[in-house]
Amino acid sequence: MVGDRVSVSLSGVAPEVRRRERRTRLVGLALLLPAILLGLAFLYLPLVFTAQMSFTEGSSYLAPTGPVTTVDNYRVMIERYLPNLFVTIQLAALATLADLLFGFPFAYILVRRVRYRDIVRALMVFPMFGALYVAFGMGFALLPGGPLDPILSALGIPNTAVLFSLPAVVFAMAIFTFPFMVMNIGTALSNVDPTLEEAAACLGARPMQTFRRVVVPLTRSGIVAGVLMVFGWSIGAFAEPLVLGSLNEQRSLALTIYERGVVQNDYGLSSTMGIVLLLLAFVVTYFSLRYSRGALAA
């Protein structure tokens, strides 16, 4: 028994325990390794490469004389392409606003009143099949003779004013991202006990007061998360401006990146745009991850 005592180190933890803890940690890291490698090799490394590329001139990377280092791309970005950034943000902001305005009541009714939720879920996946089909289908819907034509004329809006315009693009973008907004707000709402609203009503609050002073504060995290998520997804919009937009909307950064990079082979400038768009996305994502209750949260 004296021998047993010796193996207990001064700090009071047996070396055997340390060794096993270290082994467990290594096994855990080994299990994570494939995911980390995939992310590093095919996301983070290419992004670093892109950042590097954004400081080279045009397609000079391919030139036999070697890449020409320059900050010109960023100067050009600021001098000539700020409107593109603004259009990108404008489209995303409008789509997000539309999603919030129409999504909150939708989520509220869905959580509090709707029993046929599986049907709703099934139909809600349609936009998720892709912005391409949404934009394509909306194009048909807005055509003269399409299903939205009578509604538009009833509202006194000429058909031609909508198709290939900013409203059409925002409309399609909003539909594509709507499920994400509803998911975030709906999750927050379903965590709010309905008796709180009943309690407010019994204390004499009018429905609007209950809504403003009880429901909204309690679901704020879901609202913020939804807004950030939808905005983050919307700044990368590609198919909607391409299919439904005018030349103005087609200036959105994602489309410009393709035009300059793949069509015109201006790798330097398109990389710069990519980095700008990426930074915008990461800022949004940072706040989004902070506000949303991720899967790892308790």
Site for another protein in 117-136 (CB under 8 A): 117-118, 120-130, 132-136
Q: Which of residues 45-84 bind another protein (CB under 8 A)?
A: 45-47, 49-50, 53, 61-62
Q: 255-280 b/e with 16+ CB inside 10 Å = b? A: bbbeebbeeeebbbbbbbbbbbbbeb
In this chain, which of 85, 94, 186, 225 binds another protein, going by CB under 8 A?
186
In this chain, which of 2, 6, 10, 34 binds another protein, going by CB under 8 A?
34
> What is the CB neighbour count within 10 angstroms for residue 56?
22
| Per CB under 8 A, 239 contacts another protein | yes
Name which of 28 and 150 has its Cβ closer to another protein.
28
Nearest distance, CB of residue 53 and another protein, angstroms: 6
Distance CA 195, CA 294 (A): 26
Q: Measure CA of the first residue to CA of the last residue in the chain; give whole Å.
A: 44
Choose one: 71-79, 198-206, 209-217, 238-246; the region binding another protein (CB under 8 A). Answer: 238-246
Nearest distance, CB of residue 258 and another protein, angstroms: 6
Distance CA 101, CA 182 (A): 11
> Cβ contacts of residue 222 below 8 Å, gap of 6+?
184, 185, 186, 187, 188, 189
Nearest distance, CB of residue 246 and another protein, angstroms: 14
Name which of 214 and 272 has its Cβ closer to another protein.
272
Residue 77's Cα: distance from chain center in Å?
Answer: 23
What x-and-dash track marks residues 250-289 binding another protein by CB under 8 A?
---xxx-xx--xx----x--xx--x--xx--xx-xx--xx
| Per CB under 8 A, 178 contacts another protein | yes
Q: Which of residues 189-228 bind another protein (CB under 8 A)?
A: none
DSSP 3-state of 219: coil
Residues contacting another protein: total by CB under 8 A: 106
**Cα dihedral: 124, 127, 133, 136 (round 10):** 100
